[in-house]
Structure 1
């Protein structure tokens, strides 16, 4: 899929709420990069082994892998503004504890990893909620550019934060870097408090937490387009993770430089990302999304090779510029594609699962790169990840991004079942009792193949919208008779199911219903499970 004519990457800033939150997020992200610089450099003093240094990055990313789905479910079912305020407050608290323990000399390597994990847990809460909030702040035509602008802001912070962190560490120690991070969280907390979010009115009770998680997993499992996006993200971030895990050792051991140089190299990556983000709108208008991710993956692989061979700051700096540009190109393209295919009701959960996958790839890849660096050396670990990443990018090229164009919708036949009997209304209102939904079709033998193909799409539509399971049965005595059956958790989930069906889902159901032979449409009935 190729994007329309390019617009300015800064166009979403004309929306006041987005502009205010984006500016506050820039401050918060700057503090996070100061903290990341301090944590990575502190570990080289507490325990300089490649494995322990790489575990700093793994500890910050692993919580997103573990908590992305539950935090995404919470972000979909609670007030998102208050949820974001809580997440930022938690990270501020963890930053203060980290500062105090460092200043008092009580922090060891495992304590550093534990508190880094705690800050990562706050990030795990923040990421899916923040991503799902962006479509609320800008119209759909500005969504892709808003995601790019979020990436530009993140990388502006990456350009400024590490360099600032390096100088702060050199001037006042790592505890000052951790204190600066805690203060930056307060800026975003105040902006979120000032945001007057209008929550959409609810006509149904809120989803239960476990039910919301299951619905999110079923949606992703039944969405081929989202699964392809996740797979492409896992491949890119797994091989690209070697840079995050091994860069401190490249700076300290291979280049023989200090924290200021470490911060400047991370800043170079941020500068590359900002430059790439500014050029990205025009590039997206000329290259389809899938090929853009391939090009970014090859650029990231080349950057790792430069880091592997580099023994002077100049080629390493060039590699960091290239890596930053590749990172924002791939990450913003993949995230925009994921948001486009996820409807509003499940967006935070879908983004949570997407982030679970790629942060898991980052955490595992970073730890593996550190382990390989210990066994075969940092040089060979970087070259191995770079070469394998380039090959994997070419292999994955056939997996397209985004949803395929839907076929022209057939007129939907009436499938609405009869209203519930009055005597069962109190039972249904309690939201208890699994519901079985049934649709009966009469299909001519010559339409059997077309019907089965149509029902394959219907199955995915039912599962995406909340079905626990789905079956299609053929009458063995009368092969023209078919029955579609699926179950939902309760009556409320059935009502939610109707609102979750999108245009493509209705089109798929309409194509199947159009093959039904009869004066009226397919017969639809509902049953509630009752114990004898």
Structure 2
């Protein structure tokens, strides 16, 4: 058991990763507290679900536009300094929201303007975050570190909204925004305490734009990288729209309220956390896990589609959460390990672009399918797409030359 636990948490033996993990734990929870408070306050000010959806759109659209630029920057500048700068900007944004809310001067347009800046900063900084993890733990511990980081993000997604709801109810949204500002300062302190050697890279606008083209050459230059990229892009766009579907599942299919929505979201999160611990214990990045995870993710959504009883829905969402992590986190590790040293940041940005770039389109599709045929049609369509992607990816690998398959065993 001790040996198993040591393998599960192997990357925590790195001092700088422990700092990164602790700082991220605090800032991730703070971020989710702010998200809950922001959506709640926008709804309170406008009484319009469309206004809430518009805020989510404003925050995610910059990912499509700027994430590849962020990857190119991550390969040319010191990633720790990049993250310190981005966290400082996010601190200012959160503090501004707090000041406006606490003085009763906040308006809806403030959320949209600051949300757009937030989305740009996250899009530019996230590739540096993933690249920093690689620099800290190295190739051998990267799959474990990616899995633990995914588990951390999943836990924050469960804990953060719960704490945010309590803070908003007890003290108001302004305190939630202020708490998030303090959480970013904790992350900055953890980054400053690291002992990594600084590795500045020459930067220039022309080279950054050229780097984006090199990102796509990497994506389509090797079959297993191409398969991984499309497995993330297509499944995340068409099959991972749970932010839209879970509240609809609770309200329309199960005919329940916010409490059940919170329950099924937490059950999915607990499954994802379990999947992260499984992946951390395996400690290997394999394309088989990407495709197998996508197949399980889609297959169990097909089983979920016709269900309308809470115990069965919860059991299935727990299993779906496990396969979600096996698919998504394995893909990130596969892309980063396949990239040469000078493309590490762009490999991370390629994943981030694939995972988040199609979110606005996917949300619209999920909502439209639900309006046509309920969550049954939406989950069934998502399941079919994920299974098709997994099958097509496996077929593409089978057709690969024996030499390439042998060189990159999955």
TM-score, length basis structure 2: 0.83
Residue in structure 2 matched with residue 211 of structure 1 by the alignment: 207
Residue in structure 1 matched with residue 198 of structure 2 by the alignment: 199
Secondary structure class of the residue paired with 1:139: helix
Residue in structure 1 matched with residue 329 of structure 2 by the alignment: 332
CA shift, 1:142, in A, is: 1.2
Residue in structure 2 matched with residue 455 of structure 1 by the alignment: none
Find the aligned partners of 1:338 and 1:261 in 2 and give their Cα distance.
37
CA shift, 1:62, in A, is: 2.1
2:381 paired with 1:384: yes
Find the aligned partners of 2:27 and 2:47 in 1 and give their Cα distance.
28
CA shift, 1:315, in A, is: 3.9
Q: Note if contact 1:76-1:345 (Cα within 8 Å) is conserved in structure 2.
A: yes
Structure showing greater relative contact order (alpha-carbon pairs closer than 8 Å, 6 or more residues apart): 2
**Could you list the per-position Cα deviations for residues 47-66 of structure 1 after superposition, in whole angstroms to 9, with x for gaps in the alignment?**
67666554444433322221
Residue in structure 1 matched with residue 72 of structure 2 by the alignment: 73
CA shift, 1:22, in A, is: 1.1
Q: Note if contact 2:33-2:161 (Cα within 8 Å) is conserved in structure 1.
A: yes
Residue in structure 2 matched with residue 221 of structure 1 by the alignment: 217
Find the aligned partners of 1:46 and 1:372 in 2 and give their Cα distance.
29
2:253 paired with 1:257: no
Note the 1:341-352 alignment, pairs <5 A: 341-352=338-349
Residue in structure 1 matched with residue 115 of structure 2 by the alignment: 116
2:394 paired with 1:394: no
Residue in structure 2 matched with residue 516 of structure 1 by the alignment: none
Note the 1:353-392 alignment, pairs <5 A: 353-374=350-371, 377-392=374-389
Secondary structure class of the residue paired with 2:69: helix
Secondary structure class of the residue paired with 2:106: coil
2:297 paired with 1:300: yes
CA shift, 1:207, in A, is: 4.3
Q: Note if contact 1:6-1:281 (Cα within 8 Å) is conserved in structure 2.
A: no
**Could you list the per-position Cα deviations for residues 169-203 of structure 1 after superposition, in whole angstroms to 9, with x for gaps in the alignment?**
3433444433332221111011112223312487x
- Return closer, same or farther for 1:70/1:161 CA change in 2, 3 Å cut-off: same
**Could you list the per-position Cα deviations for residues 129-162 of structure 1 after superposition, in whole angstroms to 9, with x for gaps in the alignment?**
0111112111321121111111122122123222
Q: Note if contact 1:221-1:227 (Cα within 8 Å) is conserved in structure 2.
A: no
CA shift, 1:304, in A, is: 4.3
Secondary structure class of the residue paired with 2:8: coil
Residue in structure 2 matched with residue 96 of structure 1 by the alignment: 95
Q: Which of 357-366 and 47-56 deviates more?
A: 47-56
Find the aligned partners of 2:55 and 2:240 in 1 and give their Cα distance.
13
- Return closer, same or farther for 1:249/1:257 CA change in 2, 3 Å cut-off: same
Find the aligned partners of 2:39 and 2:313 in 1 and give their Cα distance.
18
- Return closer, same or farther for 1:61/1:398 CA change in 2, 3 Å cut-off: farther
- Return closer, same or farther for 1:157/1:399 CA change in 2, 3 Å cut-off: farther
Find the aligned partners of 1:166 and 1:264 in 2 and give their Cα distance.
14
Find the aligned partners of 1:140 and 1:167 in 2 and give their Cα distance.
41
Secondary structure class of the residue paired with 1:138: helix
- Return closer, same or farther for 1:302/1:252 CA change in 2, 3 Å cut-off: same
Find the aligned partners of 1:107 and 1:253 in 2 and give their Cα distance.
31
Unmatched runs of 5 consecutive residues or more in structure 2: none
Question: How much is the aligned-residue C-alpha RMSD, in angstroms?
Answer: 3.3
Secondary structure class of the residue paired with 1:197: coil
Find the aligned partners of 1:52 and 1:297 in 2 and give their Cα distance.
32
Find the aligned partners of 2:105 and 2:368 in 1 and give their Cα distance.
28
CA shift, 1:331, in A, is: 1.2
Find the aligned partners of 2:236 and 2:20 in 1 and give their Cα distance.
27
Residue in structure 1 matched with residue 25 of structure 2 by the alignment: 26
- Return closer, same or farther for 1:52/1:306 CA change in 2, 3 Å cut-off: farther
Instruction: Say which structure is richer in helix.
Output: 2
- Return closer, same or farther for 1:227/1:384 CA change in 2, 3 Å cut-off: closer
Secondary structure class of the residue paired with 1:324: helix
- Return closer, same or farther for 1:406/1:303 CA change in 2, 3 Å cut-off: closer
CA shift, 1:334, in A, is: 0.2
Find the aligned partners of 1:56 and 1:306 in 2 and give their Cα distance.
32
**Could you list the per-position Cα deviations for residues 95-144 of structure 1 after superposition, in whole angstroms to 9, with x for gaps in the alignment?**
23334444526333x65444333322222122100111112111321121
Residue in structure 2 matched with residue 477 of structure 1 by the alignment: none
**Could you list the per-position Cα deviations for residues 308-359 of structure 1 after superposition, in whole angstroms to 9, with x for gaps in the alignment?**
5555554443344233222221111000000011122121123213321221
Structure with the greater alpha carbon radius of gyration:
1
Residue in structure 2 matched with residue 318 of structure 1 by the alignment: 315
CA shift, 1:252, in A, is: 5.0
CA shift, 1:271, in A, is: 1.7
Residue in structure 2 matched with residue 106 of structure 1 by the alignment: 106
Q: Note if contact 1:276-1:325 (Cα within 8 Å) is conserved in structure 2.
A: yes
